[in-house]
């Protein structure tokens, strides 16, 4: 069942992203570059937190995975062997009336007649294959021999470096190689905000195993990846696992799951978990003439490992996180009257700013000095935003809108003016429940860190 779409909600999210500095259109002052996006001050923090958490659970917390950071510029032989030069294409159709290009599966149909989804025109070309790779030239000459590609996925450098990494890491099967990095696809129709871009980031793991373990690890990784999404704050109810049918899978894949998310524009893929057999390593062994075999010391067998690949999109996940977090509810203002507020209910783990610190009044030197001391104390451990301007309710509201989970206020009690027992304590306000608690400054960092893990 596809979730109902909600264009209005999506519009509000896109506008909040721009207004608060999560995501801007790339080259905006020149009219924008279609399919490219720039992450602003908050977007870059959110994206980093997501990537760091992925790296933590996929690499650092495991014994069986190591990382790499491969080049974006790719030798054409790599992408010939992988099949991308020949076959990494989408069927494209042009409208002769409005000159729009679109993917064949985006064609509108009215009473069995094919129509342009842009202008409704019926004068359309036949579908032809359009290769999605960006080609460039390396060095001063622009000849055939200098062609290189911007990688269309991060996976291929993992396959190509398989032997080197096997040797240096001394891992035994099953083990994985992980990478996070940019990938480029000249998508025919970039759309749905950052969902389909021409430049994007992937988080990929290639998990190598014995052939008979492939199906088992496919199931294992699907489950692990679902847990990951829940751990960054996506609710299970908004996630869906699609078991990709035989006819829609790559010919070499023995099983693929798409992990999908119910975006306001519909149910769409976040990540593919694919059992790719020994296809990639075999292709590179054949084309390069270099052995990419694994020697099993126990059984004395030599063979090409099989691979299961969980391949996630950073930008799509960031977008899902924002869509999931976006909430409108009611909160009291400084006079105690209820007002509507926008709140991004990010999991504290991935929230761009972890803690905001406010002196109750900005014209009381001691409050300001103490608040700045709290900021200095917290900064080595987390992202902190200091704000002294405006009524306290307004300051909370500004932080709610960007998803800051904790608001720390330094007030007269902190200075010990009312009750000496409360000296050097602050109030900590929780973004979601809006409840406040009093915490000693010396315990603040440890308590907040525990909630952010
Ligand atoms: P789609 O069918 O949506 O084009 P795909 O199946 O071609 O995606 P894969 O090749 O499996 O995608 O890439 C793995 C992941 O990379 C995707 O699940 C997605 O999160 C991300 N990704 C792929 N293409 C794009 C894109 N154009 N913009 C943003 N992210 C992308």
Residue-wise pLDDT for 166-224, tens only, equals: 999 999 999 999 999 999 999 998 989 999 999 999 999 999 999 999 999 999 999 99
- Model confidence over 210-245: pLDDT tens digits? 999 999 999 999 999 999 999 999 999 999 999 999
pLDDT bracket for residue 105 (50, 70, 90): confident
CA dist 256 and 222 (Å) reads 9
Residues 6+ apart with CB under 8 A from 56: none
Q: What is the per-residue pLDDT for 165?
A: 97
- Closest approach atom of ligand 1 to CA 196: 28
Q: Check whether 1 has a pLDDT greater than 60.
A: no
CA dist 113 and 96 (Å) reads 16
Is 272 a pocket residue for ligand 1 (Cβ < 6 Å)? yes
- Closest approach atom of ligand 1 to CA 317: 20
pLDDT bracket for residue 290 (50, 70, 90): very high
CA dist 269 and 241 (Å) reads 9
Q: Measured between alpha carbons, how far is residue 376 from residues 111, 370, 371, 379 in Å?
A: 67, 10, 9, 5
pLDDT bracket for residue 441 (50, 70, 90): very high
Is 413 a pocket residue for ligand 1 (Cβ < 6 Å)? no
Q: Check whether 3 has a pLDDT greater than 80.
A: no
- Closest approach atom of ligand 1 to CA 313: 20
Give the closest residue to 135 by CA, choosing from 202, 85, 71: 85
CA dist 158 and 74 (Å) reads 12
Least confident of 61-75, 114-128, 224-238, 272-286: 114-128
The dihedral built from the CA positions of residue 210, 216, 218 and 220, taken in this order, carries a sign that is negative
Q: Check whether 253 has a pLDDT greater than 90.
A: yes
Percent of the chain with pLDDT over 70: 99
Q: What is the per-residue pLDDT for 380?
A: 97
**Is the separation of the CB atoms in 186 and 153 below 8 Å?**
no
Is 17 a pocket residue for ligand 1 (Cβ < 6 Å)? no
Q: Give the residue, 376 or 2, on which the prediction is more confident.
A: 376
CA 426 to ligand 1 center in whole angstroms: 46
Q: What are phi and psi of 305, to 5 degrees?
A: -65, 155
Q: Check whether 2 has a pLDDT greater than 70.
A: no
Is 187 a pocket residue for ligand 1 (Cβ < 6 Å)? yes
- Model confidence over 343-373: pLDDT tens digits? 999 999 999 999 999 999 999 999 999 999 9
Sheet bearing 101-103, strands edge to edge: 101-103, 89-94, 128-131
- Model confidence over 409-430: pLDDT tens digits? 999 999 998 899 999 999 999 9
Whole-model pTM: value is 0.95
Q: What is the per-residue pLDDT for 335?
A: 85
The 10 Å Cβ neighbour count of residue 17 is 23
Is 311 a pocket residue for ligand 1 (Cβ < 6 Å)? yes
CA 201 to ligand 1 center in whole angstroms: 10
Q: State the chain's mean pLDDT as an integer.
A: 95
Residue 409 tokens read as 């206020």
Q: What is the per-residue pLDDT for 34?
A: 96
Percent of the chain with pLDDT over 90: 87
**Is the separation of the CB atoms in 72 and 201 below 8 Å?**
no
């Amino acid at each position: 069942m596809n979730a109902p779409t909600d264009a209005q909600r999506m519009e509000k999210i896109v506008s909040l992203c721009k207004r608060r500095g999560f995501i801007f259109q790339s080259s905006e002052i020149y009219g924008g570059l279609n399919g490219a996006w720039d992450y602003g001050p908050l977007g870059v923090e959110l994206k980093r937190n997501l990537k760091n958490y992925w790296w933590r659970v996929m690499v650092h917390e495991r014994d069986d995975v190591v990382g790499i950071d491969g080049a974006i510029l790719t030798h054409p032989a790599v992408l010939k062997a992988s099949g991308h030069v020949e076959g990494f294409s989408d069927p494209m159709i042009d409208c002769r009336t409005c000159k729009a290009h679109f993917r064949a599966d985006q064609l509108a149909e009215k009473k069995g007649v094919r129509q342009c989804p842009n202008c409704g025109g019926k004068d359309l070309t036949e579908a032809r294959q359009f290769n999605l790779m960006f080609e460039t030239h390396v060095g001063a000459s622009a000849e055939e021999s200098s062609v290189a590609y911007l990688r269309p996925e991060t996976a291929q450098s993992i396959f190509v470096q398989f032997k080197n990494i096997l040797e240096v890491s001394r891992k035994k099967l099953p083990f994985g190689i992980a990478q996070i990095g940019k990938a480029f696809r000249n998508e025919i129709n970039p759309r749905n905000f950052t969902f389909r871009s021409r430049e994007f980031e992937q988080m990929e793991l290639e998990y190598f195993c014995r052939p008979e373990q492939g199906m088992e690890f496919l199931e294992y990784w699907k489950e692990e990846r679902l847990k990951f999404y829940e751990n960054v704050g996506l609710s299970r109810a908004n996630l869906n696992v699609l078991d990709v049918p035989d006819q829609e899978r790559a010919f070499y894949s023995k099983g693929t799951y798409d992990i999908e998310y119910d975006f306001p524009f519909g149910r769409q893929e976040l990540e593919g978990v694919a059992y790719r057999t020994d296809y990639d390593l075999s292709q590179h062994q054949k084309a390069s003439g270099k052995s990419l075999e694994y020697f099993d010391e126990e059984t004395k067998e030599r063979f090409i490992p099989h691979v299961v690949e969980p391949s996630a999109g950073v930008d799509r996940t960031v977008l899902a996180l924002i869509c999931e977090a976006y909430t409108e509810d009611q909160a009291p203002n400084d006079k105690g009257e209820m007002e509507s507020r926008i709140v991004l209910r990010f999991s504290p783990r991935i929230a761009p700013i972890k803690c905001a610190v406010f002196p109750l009044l900005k014209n009381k030197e001691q409050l300001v000095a103490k608040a700045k001391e709290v900021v200095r104390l917290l900064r080595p451990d987390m992202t902190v935003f200091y704000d002294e301007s405006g009524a306290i309710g307004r300051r909370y509201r500004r932080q709610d809108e960007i998803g800051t989970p904790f608001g720390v206020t330094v007030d007269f009690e902190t200075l010990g003016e009312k009750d000496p027992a409360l000296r050097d304590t602050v109030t900590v306000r929780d973004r979601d429940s809006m409840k406040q608690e009093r915490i000693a400054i010396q315990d603040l960092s440890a308590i907040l860190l525990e909630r952010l893990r």
